[in-house]
Each structure stands twice: as structure tokens, then as C-alpha cells.
Structure 1
Amino acid sequence: MTIQCKVKSIEPLACNTYRILLHPEAPVKFKAGQYLTVVMGEKDKRPFSIASSPCRHQGELELHIGAAEHNAYAIEVVDELKKALENGLEISIEAPHGDAWIREDSERPLLLIAGGTGFSYVRSILDHCIAQNKANNIYLYWGGRDECQLYAITEMNDIAAKYANVKFVPVIEQADSNWQGKVGNVLAAINEDFESLDNYDIYIAGRFEMAGSAREQFTQNKGAKTERMFADAYSFI
């Protein structure tokens, strides 16, 4: 479904990452964990996870777009959205997409895994669970190159402090002497922390190779069920 949107705001989060609010001309129905595509051309439609949750997005759609210098694919979209905001123009999106949405009827504990701006995907799921008062235990592991990439770390620590069923574990590859959390690869941290993932629903957003490695490692070494692992990447790999 193609929908016209106004670009309401563009705010820098950190490390070449932007929070973008879109106001669609008509309400968009979606499930937590789905994504939209920004239409750049007839055959050029670029996917981004919806960071807002479906139960309290107030008609707006939130995106987190990482546009580092080497990532022309994302920079071009941010530039297009900035142009639309400055000139009062509308942009076209197509939504919703993706089948890696949360299985709300499941009572299994959740393991949410994000790499970089893949956080927007798990953030939607987490916020939806909180809003729906779900009692499932929720473990959110967020990996990044350095602390700067984990742009919502304060918010996540506050959420984990407020809700007893939520545990947040940040993992960075490059740490300075002030860093108190885990250092290394996010998947390695999970392998270290969990004896078994047999009973978990696992939701993953990040690079395709990360999602592929997670499926291989967790099913072979931790008893995870392939049918209980969800990622948009699994539609392509």
C-alpha cells in the first residue's frame, strides 16, 4: 500500500544516526516488528524498520536511520527526507512489510537482539510488550561498535530499572576505561550468558550475516528452535 507522508521532524540521535518522524495522510496499520519502504523511484524502494509501536504511535511513524559516510544507501534517503522537510513536500512510503512481527499469543520468554540501528526493530517490539502489560521475561541485547552507537542506552537502562521482567544488556566492540558493560561480539555475549535457548522466542535485527550466524550458532549450540527465530533477513538467506 503506497501512502503519502509529511516529514514532521528529523533529529540527530548520535553517530550519524537520525530519528525521523513521518505523518502519513492516512493511518497505517502495522504490527510491532514490521517495516516500511521509502519510495526513491519506481524500482528503488528502501526498507527501514518502524521504531514506533502500533498501539501508541499517535498516527506518526518513527524511523531510526544510520547514515554514516560509507553508507550512501541511507544517506541518500536522509537527504531526500531533509529536502522534503525544508520544502514542505511529501514523500511516498509503502507499508506494512515483513513477517518478523511479534507473536503476541506466545507466553515464551523473549530474546531481542539488535546490531546498530537494528535497535529500532526491537524497540517497537519492546514498547508494544510494555504497553500491553505482557508478563513474559524480555532480554534485550544491543551490540554496537562503540558506546556512541548505542544512542538510546540511557532510555533502555531506565526501562529495565522500571520493569522487573525487562533485562537490557549493551555490548560494544571498542570500549574505553569508563565502560562498565560487556565488550566484544553481541552473539558471543549471548552464548556466554545462556545455557539454553530452547524455550525462547528470538527476534533479530542487524546485518544479514549476523542473523545467519545467530541462527546457526543458537540452533546448533543452544537448542533454539528455527521456527521460533524471527528476522526479516530470514526471508532472503
Structure 2
Amino acid sequence: MNDSARRCSVRTEPAGHQFEVAPDQTILEAALTQRIGLPYGCRNGTCGSCTARLLDGEVRYPSGKTEALEGQPPSACLTCQAVPTSDLVLRVAELERLSDIEVRTMPCRLAEKTRLNHDVMRLRLKLPEGQRLAYVAGQYLEFMLRDGARRAYSIANPPHDDALLELHVRRVPGGRFSDEVFEHLEERSILRIRAPLGTFVLREDTERPILMVAGGTGFAPLKAMLEHAFRRRIKRSIRLYWGVRARRDLYLPELPQRWAAAHPNFRWVPVLSEPDPDWNGRAGWVHEAVLKEHPSLGDFDCYLSGPPPMVEAGRAAFEAAGAGLDHLFSDAFEYAADSHCAD
């Protein structure tokens, strides 16, 4: 029997869970099917959220999608793309509470559509009467389109404020779905979603200070996490760095201003890569602004959310500054793709 035709066993450390992977099945697919709470994000080999350490055994990557392995040590394993060729032992931080949440497919109605700036639309979705979606702040949902394509957006509101599900949709030039949202989608339209998905969630079993880094609409899942943290009265130091091109690309800027006024442990720093002539704040790449204030990141939990180039640059720079993989969490939005995307 060749390697690709055998079932393989996977054991996780330190949790000690064991599960089987069918021939040609990825580690993550098998884990999710068997309710093992492995971390994941884009499921497309881009964001690195699913990275585990391969302690024993061998894998292959038939898809060839291994962008997130660049710069990683040889033991790094992308569970969303890796197919075992032998029994494995993985070191990975499991998320027990997410494995207990049911992923559901359901209809919803567009209750509200509000333009937040020149290229971001806020959608608020209402589930069928009497239903609520169990989810954790930072997770995302997928729209299931009629042609079989899917578009994924982070849920921007926390679970304690879930009468409506809030999404931030950025208009992408030539983006079929975002064009539909901006030009044609009407309030009261019926849509079909699958949710909740993803493991980009706040780790609460630690007292480490928190650094959050957003690029564009990567603010959405961080907004949900922050509002959850404030509700839980988490007292850890929290810093949000939000990178956009110019001042007009900041949307809902009054929110972090209010949070900073109400919560002494919170501070936010907007960063413009193409600053307006009268801009007096931080300029340049957002991850570089973080490192100017925090050149050593070994003591922080770091959360990065936004387009893949920003997330990839941030992860590499933060690892070089001492951020350990067990404390570096990311969510990369694949614009105009059928994976985790913002179009």
C-alpha cells in the first residue's frame, strides 16, 4: 500500500487527543470532522493560523499552497494543507471550546445596509425568528452564493450583542460580490450563510499584554474581540494599531476613541501608509509602527488581521522580534477569492 492510500493516526500534544486521517485528507479536515479543536483561519495555506509543530512523522502538500511556511522552521506544519504520509505527533494549541460549537447553514435577511466610508459597507444580518448563532468573538461566516462560490467575512460584533450579525464589506475593484453589495443588494434580501468558522479568537487563559494589528477591514474581528474583552472587564494592557492608506480609509474612528476614553488599559494608534499632507500621526507600514514602540515582543500575545501581505510581513517581523508561534495569531483576508476573503 502506498503512502497516499493508507489511513494515518495523528496524536496532538500536549492535549493528547488522537484521530485518524483518511487517504488524501488534510489533517485539518479530519480534525474538524471529528470535533478536534485545531486552530485554523483561511484554510488556503495563506494566513498561518493553522501552523503546528511536527514532532514525529511526515506529510506532503499536494495542493502546493504553502505560502505561510516561508521563513518557518522545518518542523512547521500547515494542517489545512498537509496530508500525512505516516502516523504523526503534532504540537499544537487546541481550542476546546470551539470544538463544541456547531457549524450551521441557515438563511438570513439583510436588515440594514450602511455606508461607513468611500469603500466600506456595514451589513447587519437577521437570523430566522427565535434563532441565535453560537459563536466566539473573532470568528467569521461564509455567504453561500447561488453558483456554489463562497465569500467569507468576519463577524464584527461580539456574541453578547448578537441580535444582528454585523459585517464590514470593503469594495474591491472588479469584485463580483462586493459590487453586488454596493450596487444592487437591497435591505430585506434573503441570503444563505454558513457559520461560525475560524479560530482567530481572544485567548483569555493568560495575563500577557495584548497587541492587535489591523489592516483595513481587518478591524472587524478585532472590534468583536475588543468589545468582548471590555464586557468581560479584562484588565490586561491592550494596544490596537490600525493601518490604512489615508485618513479617509479609517471608518468608525469614533469607536476606538470612545474605548480609549472609557478603558484606561486600552490605547489605539492609527497608521497611514500614504498620509494626508496635514497628518500628524504615525506614518508608514503598520507592523513597523508596532516595532518602533515595542522592539521586543516576547512577552506579548499578538493578533494580526488584514490582507495577506500585511499579515505575512507582520508575522515575519514579529517572530524576528521574539514573538513565539504559540502567542502569534493571525487572520488573512484573501480579497476576491473563494476562501477567507473580504470580497
- TM-score > 0.5 by shorter chain: yes
**Equivalence for 2:220:** 120
Please state whether the residue corresponding to 2:248 is helix, strand or coil: helix
Identity among equivalent pairs (%) = 32
Name 1:162's counterpart in structure 2: 262
Structure 2 residue 323 is matched with structure 1 residue 224: yes
**Offset of residue 11 of structure 1:** 0.5
Name 1:107's counterpart in structure 2: 207
Match of 1:189 in 2: 289
Q: 1:142 aligns with which of 242, 254, 278?
A: 242
Deviation at 1:111, TM superposition (A): 0.8
CA distance in 2, matches of 1:45, 1:70: 16
Which of 50, 60, 65 aligns to 2:169? It is: 65
Change beyond 3 A, Cα 1:189–1:215 = same
Q: Is 2:158 aligned against 1:53?
A: yes
44-53 or 149-158: bigger deviation: 149-158
Inter-partner Cα distance in structure 1 for 2:236 and 2:307: 27
Q: TM-score, normalised by structure 1?
A: 0.90
Deviation at 1:79, TM superposition (A): 4.7
Aligned-pair distance for 1:216? 0.9
Partners of 2:258 and 2:164 lie apart in 1 by: 24
CA distance, structure 1, for counterparts of residue 268 and residue 171 of structure 2: 25
Aligned to 2:125: 22
Q: CA deviation at 1:175?
A: 2.0
Say what the alpha-carbon RMSD is for the aligned residues: 1.8
**Structure 1 position 119, deviation (Å):** 0.6
* Residues 311 and 331 in structure 2, CA contact (< 8 A), matched pair in contact too: no
Q: Distance in 1 between matches of 2:169 and 2:223?
A: 14
Taking the aligned partners of 1:70 and 1:193, their CA distance within structure 2 comes to 38
Q: Hey, what's the Cα distance between the residues in 1 that align with 2:246 and 2:168?
A: 17
Q: Which of the pair is proportionally richer in helix?
A: 1
What CA distance in whole angstroms lies between the structure 1 residues aligned with 2:174 and 2:248?
Answer: 17
Shift of 1:143: 0.3
Quick check: which has more Rg, 1 or 2? 2
Equivalent position amino acid for 1:61 in 2: L
User: After alignment, is 62-71 or 46-55 more displaced?
Assistant: 62-71
C-alpha contact (below 8 Å) 2:209/2:238 kept by paired residues: yes
Supply the AA of the counterpart residue of 2:180.
E
Q: 1:13 Cα deviation (Å)?
A: 0.2
What secondary structure sits across from 1:55 in the alignment? helix
CA contact (8 A) 2:243 2:286 kept: yes
Give the stretch that moved more between structures: 208-217 or 173-182: 173-182
Q: Deviations over 1:1-39 (max 9, x none)?
A: 111111111000002211111011120111111000111
Is 1:213 matched with 2:313? yes
Runs of 4+ aligned structure 1 residues displaced above 4 Å come to: 77-80
Number of equivalenced pairs? 229
- CA shift digits 1:57-82 (9 cap, x unpaired): 3x2100011114344442234456x2
Counterpart CA distance in 2 for 1:112 and 1:3 is 31
Q: What is residue 137 of structure 2 aligned with on the other side?
A: 32
Q: 1:209 to 1:177 in 2, by over 3 A?
A: closer
C-alpha spacing 1:78/1:230, structure 2 compared with 1 (3 Å): farther
Check the 8 A contact 2:306/2:331 in 1, yes or no.
Answer: no
- 1-side partners of 2:208 and 2:177: how far apart? 36
